[in-house]
Structure 1
Amino acid sequence: MPIDGDILKELRRDQGYNQEEMGRIFGLSVKAYSSRETGRTKMSIEMLEKMADHLGTSTDYLLGRTAVEKPYPPRRRR
């Protein structure tokens, strides 16, 4: 899944992480994380969800589909 690498990079930096730390958090090498951040390697939906959750945003924001950084409220289960 192609993400907007500039958005991911900005969020990472705003929260004080470097690429090595992000790789460690998500079980990736620095090179593997970097290739996902730059869009050279597509990201699985599961990884996209994990990154959005960790960074406190939505998958749509990481994909560049919305300008709203704040995540959506969770859906209520019935």
Structure 2
Amino acid sequence: MEIRRLRDLREDHDKSQKAIAEYLNMHRSVYRRYESGERETPAWVLDKLADYYHVSTDYLLGRTDRPEPYPVK
């Protein structure tokens, strides 16, 4: 996963790790480990973050450089 993207998106939205952790209903230290790459980010977290930042999960995973979410069919 492109771990730098999680931090960059958070900082671009002027959010703290604590604020994102609260949105995900977890402790800040758990989110910090996802952001630093110490822990693998679960699919449900990627899904919620993609919705929160309005990007695709592929963008979060580093599979594309296009942040736009896929159109709903």
- TM-score w.r.t. length of structure 2: 0.93
Structure with larger Rg: 1
Q: Which of 45, 48, 51 is the aligned partner of 1:50?
A: 48
What residue in structure 2 maps to residue 62 of structure 1?
60
Q: What is the alpha-carbon distance in structure 1 between the residues aligned to residue 52 and residue 66 of structure 2?
A: 16
Shift of residue 10 of structure 1? Answer: 0.6
**Paired-residue identity, %:** 33
Match of 1:10 among 1, 8, 11: 8
Cα drift, residue 61 of structure 1: 0.3
Aligned counterparts of 2:67 and 2:46: Cα–Cα separation in 1:
15
Runs of 4 or more, structure 1, over 2 Å off, are none
**Counterpart Cα distance in 1 of 2:19 and 2:65:** 26
- Between Structure 1 and Structure 2, the one with more helix by share is 2
CA-atom RMSD, angstroms? 0.9
